[in-house]
Structure formats: C-alpha cells, structure tokens
Amino acid sequence: MSLDQAAREKLVRALAASMIEHAEELTSLDQAIGDGDHGLNMKRGFEAVLATLPGLADKSLPEMLKSIGMTLVMKVGGASGPLVGTFFMELGKALPEAPARADLVAATDQAINAVKARGRSEAGQKTLLDVLVPVQGVLAGGGDARAIAAEAAQAADRTTPMLATRGRASFLGERSIGHMDPGSRSASLLISAAVAALEFEAIS
C-alpha cells in the first residue's frame, strides 16, 4: 500500500470528520459513565490535526502518523489524548512508507502494546483496547475491509455489558454496566473511517 499525498489527506480528513460528526454522540456516551467530555476532546484534537493540513499530508505516511499522534497528545486533553496519540505515534514509528499487510499487522500490534503500557491496562477492562485488540486480530487473520469495520462496530457494542475496571467509568462500579464505552466507540469510528478512506481492499 502506497499512499500518495491526496490519499494521505483523504485519510486525515476522514478520521477528523468521523470525530467531528460524532462528537455529540461520544459526549453523551461519556456523560453516562465518564466525565462527559470525550466527544468535545476528540473533536478539539482532530480539529487541531486538520489545522496542520495541507503540510501534514506532505509528510511521508510514518511521519504524518507521528505528527497526528503528537497533535492529539498535546490537544485532546483527558486520558484519551495520550492513549489515542500514543497509538498514532507508535504506528508511525513502526510502519514503513509503503506498508504491506504484514507491516500493518506488526505495527498495530506494537501500537496496541504501547497503549496498554500507557494506560496500564489490558483488554477486558471496558476501554478502547476492547476494540483495538479484537480488530487487530481480524487484521492479522486476513480479514477484509468489511470484516474489519464489522468487528470494530461489534467490539464497541460488546463493551456495553462489560464492567469497567479502568478509567473514569470504573468509579461507577456496576453502574458502568449497560453503557457502551465512549473510548471504544471513538476507536471503532476511527477504524471504520480509516478502512473506508484507504480503500483497504487494495492492500495485499
């Protein structure tokens, strides 16, 4: 997969649009079990990313991802900034300029491990890892764009009955059950936006 400048810009705009369009939904999910700022925070972060275009898309894919990650770290606020920002930064560090699927599999694994370390968390605690980990499994297993997007959506849905043991929702104990994790929802939206923008089937 080699992304030219136009494709890189398309990817950035798709990621940002997914967060900006769903900001209210994410905030309302976060009002149920968190501190109610997730949508606003992610929107602020991706608006800051958009503000770095068009120069951002002039960078190589790895450099662009690192730059997106750094902007998110600095602008999102809340724990999501370092968590999502770290994911992008580590992807950028691990990916070659023209990644094959095997490179994506390895890089996403590395990025997920960095998110685990940053949050001192594992899958099963009702966090974005509950989307990232199973989606990475589908990617590693050879799933196509449709399978990846479907798993992202289903994995976010599966956080609804989970008990939160990490993050602000863990303060609520059993009252966290019955609400979708906002960080899982935003991760799912970003993944769906990315595979749609990338015309993922072209990746061999």
Partner 1 sequence: MSNSSSGNVGIVIVSHSSKIAEGAADMVRQMVGSAVPLAWTGGDTDGGLGTNVAGILEAIETAWSPAGVAILVDLGGAETNSEMAVEMLAEDRRGRVVVCNAPVVEGAVIAATESSGGSSLAAVKRSAEEFYA
Name the residues that contact partner 1, by CB under 8 A.
35, 37, 40-41, 44, 73-75, 77-83, 85-86, 118-119, 167-168
Please report how close the Cβ of residue 75 comes to partner 1 at its closest, in angstroms: 6
Residue 25 vs 35, nearer CB to partner 1 = 35
Residue 57 vs 162, nearer CB to partner 1 = 162
CA distance 186 to 141: 23
Please report how close the Cβ of residue 119 comes to partner 1 at its closest, in angstroms: 7
Residue 67 vs 80, nearer CB to partner 1 = 80
Please report how close the Cβ of residue 44 comes to partner 1 at its closest, in angstroms: 7
Q: Following DSSP, what letter does each residue of 174-191 receive, concatenated?
A: GGGTTS--HHHHHHHHHH
Please report how close the Cβ of residue 184 comes to partner 1 at its closest, in angstroms: 16
Residue 125 vs 192, nearer CB to partner 1 = 125
Please report how close the Cβ of residue 149 comes to partner 1 at its closest, in angstroms: 28
Count of CB atoms within 10 A of residue 31's CB?
15
Residue 1 vs 83, nearer CB to partner 1 = 83
Contacts of 39 (CB under 8 A, 6+ apart): 19, 22, 23, 24, 25, 26, 27, 28, 29, 30, 182
Q: 128 φ, ψ to 5°? A: -55, -20
Residue found by looking up tokens 């976010």 in the block? 156
